[in-house]
Amino acid sequence: MDNMKSSRLSLFLMELIIAIFFFSLSAGVCVRLFVSAHSLSERTENLENAVMWTQNLSEAFVAKKGDLAAIARLFPDGFVNENTVGDSGREGNVILIFDDNWELIENTLSDASYEVIMSTALKDASDVYSDVNTYGELRGKAVTGDIAVYDLRGTDEIITMVDENKGEAFHFLSVDVYVGEEE
């Protein structure tokens, strides 16, 4: 009788251990799902902000016909890369730096988490629109712009040009505007 009671107790303990094992396993799966959902939510939020800021810059680019000085006045917390601004005022970079909450940073780069760069260039309109021009030769100039968003977390340096770093951007947009025959 004592042997049978001991057998039932060990069977009960074995069932209890197996039940605890399955609960632990399911709890681990649930924790992993919550962590991946949080990560996906963060990436989605960053992509939404990246799209919003590239759209803001592209709309400013078109409205100001690629004039970097006029665009820079719309974003006073941004930086204009003075070394690359051409004689036309339409070639160069506008750089916007953001913190973790996608708030523009003015003076300090120590809190930089994200960067949006717009690089512009003045080109012949016939070259820019060669794939869509069916009316003969197009005269004048067009300004092209590449807008890229970079994640700076975990890096020490600010990216200053889009051209060489397109692959590192987590969002990218190309824009252009016809400016006619000027300069």
Query: Do residues 98 and 104 lie in contact, with contact meaning Cβ atoms separated by under 8 Å?
Result: yes
Global pTM reads: 0.77
Question: How many other CB atoms sit within 10 Å of the CB of residue 47?
Answer: 13
Over range 145-171, report the average pLDDT: 79
Taking the C-alpha atoms of residue 134 and residue 32, their distance in angstroms, rounded to an integer, is 56
Name the percent of the chain lying above pLDDT 70.
86
Over range 140-167, report the average pLDDT: 80
Q: Which residues are registered as beta bridge partners of 115?
A: 97, 150
Contacts of 151 (CB under 8 A, 6+ apart): 46, 113, 114, 170
pLDDT at 51: 94
For the chain, give every domain's residue range.
32-180
Taking the C-alpha atoms of residue 62 and residue 179, their distance in angstroms, rounded to an integer, is 10
Taking the C-alpha atoms of residue 87 and residue 108, their distance in angstroms, rounded to an integer, is 29
Decide which of 137 and 165 is more confident: 137
pLDDT value at 29 more than 90 = yes
Average pLDDT, the chain: 83
State pLDDT tens for residues 43-60: 999 999 999 999 999 999
pLDDT at 121: 87
Contacts of 25 (CB under 8 A, 6+ apart): none
Taking the C-alpha atoms of residue 57 and residue 94, their distance in angstroms, rounded to an integer, is 9
pLDDT at 111: 81
Q: How far is CA 11 from the centre of its chain?
A: 58
Token representation of residue 61: 């680019």
State pLDDT tens for residues 77-117: 888 875 555 556 678 888 898 988 998 887 667 788 898 99
Taking the C-alpha atoms of residue 82 and residue 115, their distance in angstroms, rounded to an integer, is 17
Q: How far apart are the first and last CA of the chain?
A: 107
